Chain A
Amino acid sequence: MIEAKEVNKFFGDHHVLKNISCTFEKGKTNLIIGQSGSGKTVLMKCLVGLYEVDSGMISYDGRNFSEMNFEQRKNLRQEIGMLFQGSALFDYMTVEENVMFPLNMFSKQTKQEKLNRVNFVLERVNLDNINHMKPSELSGGMRKRVAIARAISMKPEYLFCDEPNSGLDPQTSGVIDQLIKEITVEYGIITIVNTHDMNSVLSIGDNVAFIYNGELWWRGNKETILHTSNKELNEFVFGTELTSRLKQ
């Protein structure tokens, strides 16, 4: 379980995260939702240590992440996989080199073993025969899938996905969502997904946390979110033409 306890984060005078406490469960897709600028990306970056929290505590299965030194964090991070909004694939490497990179850095496997693992994870994300292509030659959806393959190549315990559907068409978004869901269940990992895509919420939202103006405003799941009386959440969920018509 990943736990955030009374987390606060400031940027200058701006109080971005206000006393956020929540837990993220194993084997489930935990979604953080909220409007742009609500603080969900900051929360995710605090969880993985890209931002330091100003107060509060973050723990990974009882290990206090906030008090870890650089070396301890480095070791823990080998258990973390992350899918970035823009995929963050290394431009100068091929797909194969990108996926193999964490294995090259941290594993003691032979080259053949590493290659087998790369091919296995690429197959797992339904990508074949693209090993020698550069990221610039791939479509947005393929890049996301390569980034997922890289994120799971080291068999992580924790998977973070920052807006995995941004810039993708609805159909491809659905494929990515299902992939994330399947990997979470298959490997029994803790997955945290940062999104404002309601399709994702309704299809993979085992646990949903709604962040509003830096505060944890509501918690529930894909079933309860449709029946909530929370005003701000309703405005967010049914804020589009399509969803508001569906509600009617």
Chain B
Amino acid sequence: MDLKVISLTGDYVMLMRRVFTKPQKGRIFWQRLLDEIQGLGIESIGIVAFISAFMGAVVAIQTAYNIDNPFIPLTMVGWTTRQSIILEFSPTIISLILAGKVGSRIASEIGTMRVTEQIDALEIMGVNSANYLIFPKVVALLLINPVLIVLSMWMGILGGWMAMGATGLSTTTDYVTGIRIDFQVYIVFYALLKTLFFAFIIATISGFYGYKTNGGALEVGQASTKAVVLSSILIIVFNLILTQLLLT
């Protein structure tokens, strides 16, 4: 088992050495980067916004229902929603969701190219296939994920406000005041830094499993599953490590 982990890590490092090289043709790289931003980022906006708005609403409602002490002000609903969304929900949970959506897409796309010999075709032409296929995806996720996470933060907080308006559990004034209480920009920095780490994990792990696919359709599915599982585990582990490093 240990040997397998070491071997896998070695393969990953070797592949990344091929991925992180100068693109052979700048113009083609930029074109691919835009395509990846569209495919991996823009097409995820809907699901990110939807989930964030509903989660923000649920966090706000649960907080409001649990405040039964008259000495606790209702501004706490806004404060709690903001802290939950910015510190944990948007960067970590949305990254986990993206690990499933984007990670499986990357692994299955590259895996299918491997089993249909498209990667061999690139190699025969003299193209560094690892760099050509994986590098634009890594850069695209590093650029677009922070944007998605900021959008998620806005939508989460907005969802909470709409839920308060709809249920009457808190007033807009209380909610907005709560959002503004003791706001530190550092927590947004912390969240976005985590996001960058998670984006790197999702893109490289999924790219690795896709690139190393061997066999047929069954193996493409397995590679996709492994990519999502390992990316999710690493996100959870790095979340703990980064939180310990950045918030203490």
A74 partner residues in chain B, CB cutoff 8 A: 126, 128
Number of A residues whose C-beta is below 8 Å from B? 26
Known A104-B25, A104-B28, A105-B25: A84·B126 in contact at CB below 8 Å: no
- Pick the contact of B125: A50, A78, A85, A89 (CB < 8 A): A78
Are A82 and B121 in contact, with the CB atoms below 8 A? Answer: yes
Are A84 and B25 in contact, with the CB atoms below 8 A? Answer: no
Closest CB of chain A to B127's CB: distance in Å? 6
Are A84 and B117 in contact, with the CB atoms below 8 A? Answer: yes
How distant is the Cα of A81 from the Cα of B125 in the complex, in angstroms? Answer: 7
B125 partner residues in chain A, CB cutoff 8 A: 77-78, 80, 101-102, 105-106, 154
- Pick the contact of B121: A84, A104, A154 (CB < 8 A): A84
Determine if A226 is an interface residue (Cβ-Cβ < 8 Å): no
- Pick the contact of A77: B28, B113, B124 (CB < 8 A): B124
Determine if B173 is an interface residue (Cβ-Cβ < 8 Å): no
Render B103-147 as a binary contact track against A, CB cut-off 8 A, 1 for contact. 000000000110011101101111110000000000000000000
- Pick the contact of B120: A50, A76, A91 (CB < 8 A): A50
Are A105 and B24 in contact, with the CB atoms below 8 A? Answer: yes
Closest CB of chain A to B114's CB: distance in Å? 11
Are A88 and B126 in contact, with the CB atoms below 8 A? Answer: no
Number of B residues whose C-beta is below 8 Å from A? 16
Q: Which residue of B28, B113, B125, B128 has the most chain A CB atoms within 10 A of its CB atom?
A: B125
Chain B's closest residue to A98 (CB) is B121
Closest CB of chain A to B34's CB: distance in Å? 14
How distant is the Cα of A90 from the Cα of B25 in the complex, in angstroms? Answer: 18
Closest CB of chain B to A89's CB: distance in Å? 8
Are A86 and B25 in contact, with the CB atoms below 8 A? Answer: no
Are B127 and A48 in contact, with the CB atoms below 8 A? Answer: no
B28 partner residues in chain A, CB cutoff 8 A: 104-105
B24 partner residues in chain A, CB cutoff 8 A: 105
Binding site for B on A (CB under 8 A): 48-50, 73-78, 80-82, 84-86, 88-91, 101-102, 104-106, 154, 160
Binding site for A on B (CB under 8 A): 24-25, 28, 112-113, 116-118, 120-121, 123-128
Write 24 A-B pairs (CB below 8 A) sorted by A numbering: A48-B124, A73-B126, A74-B128, A75-B126, A76-B126, A82-B120, A82-B121, A82-B124, A84-B117, A84-B121, A85-B117, A86-B116, A86-B117, A88-B117, A88-B118, A88-B121, A90-B118, A91-B112, A91-B118, A101-B125, A105-B24, A105-B25, A105-B28, A105-B126
Besides A50-B120, A84-B120, A105-B126, 5 new A-B residue pairs in contact (Cβ under 8 A), listed by A number: A50-B123, A77-B124, A88-B117, A88-B118, A88-B121
